[in-house]
Amino acid sequence: MLQESDDPLDPPEPPEPPGSETDQEHLRLLNAQTNLILSSTKKYKCHSCEAPDCTTTAPCTSALECWKSRVRDSNGVERLSRGCITNAEQIPLYCSVQSYSSRSGHTKRHADGQYAIDCCTGDFCNNGSFPDLPPIVYKGQVPPYLDSTSYIMKLTLAILGPVLALGLLGALVLLLMRHTHRKRLMSARNMADPETYYASDDLLRVTAAGDSTLREYLEHSLTSGSGSGLPLLIQRTLAKQISLSECIGKGRYGEVWRGVWHGENVAVKIFFSRDEASWSRETEIYSTVLLRHENILGYIGSDMTSRNSCTQLWLITHHHPLGSLYDHLNRTTLTHHQFMKICLSAANGLVHLHTEIFGTQGKPAIAHRDIKSKNILMKLNGSCVIADFGLAVTHVQATGEMDVGANPRVGTKRYMSPEVLDETINTECFESYRRTDIYSFGLVLWEVCRRTLSNGIAEDYKPPFYDLVPNDPSFEDMKKVVCIDQQRPSLPNRWASNATLSGMAKLMKECWHHNPNVRLPALRIKKTLVKLASSDIHVHLDLDI
């Protein structure tokens, strides 16, 4: 085995790159000398095979040196080999570095390879045991799935951490800005209008006194004394205190929105500026002394505000999520008990409107002039309230004063009485207006009865005169049907076999009689309904009427 640097088998040092003809000649002489030495070197026989069995492979002859090696690949698999070197130039490549390891130990299974090689001289000297490699060492080995989980957790924290921190910071900034804005707004209001401060302070003081509800606002110390809404001073600030949530209705007058005021739902009727007369009239009627009643829509207040450079006229009332009687009848059929509760409560409200209450804190008689199912709202307990007083007329018997108002609007054509359609109504007599309400109320009773079940049967909802006039009838259409032809809504045959519905049919006919003087007064209608309800075995009255 060649170990010394001056051994004749060691290859000479590589010559410097030839720079002249003398250098090239020197290189040729050196190569010739090396070949001469190698040609005279002794040759050996060596095993040349892949272990463990080398008996089936022919040995290598004319070898300058023999070698045996152990190689471990990156997967930890070891391979044993024997062989020979027949070219002197390969000796430094095989034997100068007898072992190699990329690192002292593997931190992972898939690491770089290792090898060890022994060179020797002599026939079959590469027989025997193979060189050893250092053992595989796994430093701090962690199962792959734990590495993956840890990496994912770290990555998630690295992403979400800053996002959450920025979100919290943004929320704090927004809350601070909102608080500052409110303080500035309240300060500006107080400086601009001392009365506004007084009204807001009054509301806050009542709120702080306990868990005040909307009913407490309207029925106790904050009422104007009439039981008809908040004091005018507080009404001036309502629009600023209410946030509109959703539009729940539209009409020719404007829109109705659900709003939130001091945590309570309210209905906000927003009039177009062109319909200011209706807004003024409703506000005036709702402000009437002693108007408040369980079957009259609860009034909170009115306000005038500006939104998007447009003047808006607001009328704020109680909110009834079931909507109008018209909506309710389109949605569902009625039991006898339900239909009687609707009719009785609506009649109860009409009686309160039509009746004058005498005294220093009395109430004038009021005629609605636009009674229809869309102007009657459903309460959650199944009773009704009358709404929309834009066309109302008031009358005080003691003075004979009748206030018709300056509203150019007319009623709904489909519900107009014959004397209104043929223009024979005595506009100087208040009783004439009350009798038009009775006619319209008879049509509402017809709508309700059609949707009432008897023997499991009920008709689909239809408006009055649905089979005689178009969807949006003209004045002339209604005049021909009601006045000239003197037709009325048809009564289903099934009503004849039901005592209650048969009695209701008779009541309707007396309400919509062509002659106004024959029509029943509201109080008589109420008494007749109570009598029908008490005789109906399906109805158990729970109204204090």
Which backbone phi and psi does 373 adopt, to 5 degrees?
-65, -25
Of 82, 84, 60, 64, nearest to 131 by C-alpha is 82
Chain centre distance of CA 161: 27
CA-CA distance, 515 to 419, in Å (whole number)?
A: 9
CA-CA distance, 489 to 505, in Å (whole number)?
A: 11
Residue 522 identity (one-letter amino acid): A
CA dihedral 467, 469, 471, 474 (to 10 degrees): -170
Residue reference for tokens 């804190």: 361
Judge whether 370 counts as a catalytic residue: yes
A 10 A CB-CB count for 123 gives: 15
Is residue 403 within 8 A of residue 394, CB to CB? The reply is yes
Is residue 302 within 8 A of residue 283, CB to CB? The reply is yes
Q: Longest C-alpha distance within the chain, in Å? A: 154
Q: Which of 118, 303, 370, 437 is catalytic?
A: 370
Residue 403 identity (one-letter amino acid): D
Residue 422 identity (one-letter amino acid): D
First-residue to last-residue Cα distance in the chain? 128
Of 489, 479, 484, nearest to 512 by C-alpha is 489
CA-CA distance, 196 to 224, in Å (whole number)?
A: 17
CA-CA distance, 261 to 244, in Å (whole number)?
A: 9
Q: For Cα atoms 529, 418, 414, give the angle at the middle one, nearest 5 degrees.
A: 75
CA-CA distance, 225 to 229, in Å (whole number)?
A: 9
Which contacts qualify for 458-463: CB closer than 8 Å, 24 or more apart? 458/333, 458/334, 459/492, 461/329, 461/330, 463/373, 463/414
CA-CA distance, 301 to 314, in Å (whole number)?
A: 8
Answer whether the bond into residue 52 is a cis peptide, omega within 30°: yes
Which backbone phi and psi does 21 adopt, to 5 degrees?
-70, -35
CA-CA distance, 284 to 294, in Å (whole number)?
A: 19
What's the helix, strand, coil split of the chain in %, to 5? 40, 20, 40
Burial category of 260 from C-beta neighbours within 10 Å (exposed 0-12, middle 13-18, buried 19 and up): middle
Of 223, 335, 316, nearest to 271 by C-alpha is 316
Which backbone phi and psi does 51 adopt, to 5 degrees?
-60, 160
Is residue 284 within 8 A of residue 340, CB to CB? The reply is no
The catalytic residue positions are 370
